[in-house]
Amino acid sequence: MLEFTDRARDMVRTFMDQGGDELQTLRIHVTGGSPVAPAFELTLVTEDDRAPEDMEVDGGGFRVLVDPGSAQTLDGARVDFVEKVNEAGFEIIPAASEAPEPPTGPLAEKVSSVLEVQVNPQIASHGGKIILRGVKGTEVLIEMTGGCQGCAMSRMTLRQGVERMIREAVPEVTAIHDVTDHAAGENPYFSH
């Protein structure tokens, strides 16, 4: 179900050693985000913290508890420990099969065209790009990447710019949902 890199496994064991004899189980819970960039919590817990519906997974020498709501996102995922310039922490990389297929159909084609021809050229100067991630009936799911991911102005860009352009060009769209994990943005164009 889950694969831990050697570095992640070593860091989990280090934290377990620091936590004492009681904290010898790792709980992973998906808290949101998007299918391609899930938000999650990793917590060391005691055996008493185990819920009856939790699934137990072997992390490679230690127990990992996963709640049923997180199991699908974590199926086939890889857990890594990464170190960047000013931060370090765990990262979950979804399985390749978990990445959504590009949406198809007439509505998807129209919205993709608006994004590529009208929207993305305007936000490219800020290092951003918006990708169509899904279509559900007449509702569309978009993801903001690059300088738009984590940008303090992203909500205004979406509501006053992107949404307006899409609705004018494709009036059959009834809702536009942002599925971006803005907390994961590493280089926002404008931060507060």
The predicted structure's pLDDT at residue 98: 43
Q: Which CATH architecture has domain 2-98?
A: Sandwich (2.60)
> b or e along 29-45 (b: 16 or more beta carbons within 10 Å of the residue's beta carbon)?
ebeebbbbbbebebebb
- The overall pTM is greater than 0.75: no
What tokens appear for 7 in the block? 């570095």
pLDDT of 161 higher than 80 = yes
User: CB of 176 within 8 A of CB of 163?
Assistant: yes
Rounded Cα distance, 94 and 77, in Å = 4
The predicted structure's pLDDT at residue 97: 43
User: CB of 19 within 8 A of CB of 81?
Assistant: no
Number of H-type helices and E-type strands within the chain? 6, 10
Outline which parts of the chain fall under CATH 2.60.300.12. Answer: 2-98
Q: Quote the mean pLDDT of the chain.
A: 83
| CATH superfamily membership of 106-184 | Fe-S cluster assembly (FSCA) (3.30.300.130)
Q: How large a percentage of the chain has pLDDT more than 90?
A: 27
Outline which parts of the chain fall under CATH 3.30.300.130. Answer: 106-184
Half-sphere exposure in the Cβ direction for 192 (13 Å, CA): 6
Each residue's pLDDT tens digit, 57-69: 999 889 999 998 8
Q: Which residue has the higher pLDDT, 136 or 155?
A: 136
By the 10 Å C-beta count (0-12 exposed, 13-18 middle, 19+ buried), 158 is classed as: buried
